[in-house]
Amino acid sequence: MPPFAVQNVIFDLDGTLVDTAADLHAATNHVLTTIGRPTIPLSAVRADVGFGALKLIERGLNRTGGIGDHSLEQLKDVFIDYYTQHTAVKSALFPGGKEMLETLTARGIGMGICTNKPLKLAEKLLKEMKLDHYFKAVTGGDSFAFKKPDPRHLSETAKLVGEGRYLMVGDSSPDIMAAKAGGVPVIGVSYGYGDVPMADLEPDIIIESLAEVAALVAA
């Protein structure tokens, strides 16, 4: 496929740019142990990462005996408190990410983050991983009155990054659906946390590594 003629690239965060599953798994297990439930394996939470803390908690409860009389909102507070203190313990860029970010920066490509993760947590993660300086804009699931798969989340993020055409890079259905609904080119990664096979989502192209992104972008 020829390179996409764009000036800006918008990335999803969890499962696309950064492998955060281990830290989110730890927060989920913290919630479960707090209420006397057994822990669950990392493999049990990976597909749920893109759908937020409430979904991680809900499915964790269902896997360990059901929701019962527990309040998901109260348990979410326990989750967020723990995760805020352990945001980037094991999280790491996916392979090829560092080189890709350096290459796009050197070429003057504008970059942004469009994630359904709460904004403060997204910003904290990027800062702790020393990645924040690469991005002209970061928006979270609470930045607007809408979020992915609503295409406005993507388009409003792009406005903050700067003028010019842009594309999306994501790992799950909210990313691909938002881009398609907005008529935006989209690259799907094969390694992320999505609950639907990437091939079924039909992005413009599927990549195996972030190292492939730079070659697909031509201003």
Alpha-carbon span 64 to 133, nearest angstrom: 41
SS3 state at 217: strand
Alpha-carbon span 82 to 8, nearest angstrom: 34
Which entry of 12, 14, 19, 48 is annotated as an active-site residue?
Answer: 12
Q: Are 62 and 38 in contact (CB under 8 A)?
A: no
Tell me the two tokens of residue 163.
Answer: 């003028």
Angle at CA of residue 136, ends 132 and 141, nearest 5° = 75
Alpha-carbon span 13 to 189, nearest angstrom: 12
Q: Are 92 and 33 in contact (CB under 8 A)?
A: no
Q: Where are the strands (E) in the chain, listed by range?
A: 8-11, 18-19, 92-93, 110-114, 137-139, 166-170, 186-189, 205-207
12 in catalytic set: yes
Active site residues: 12
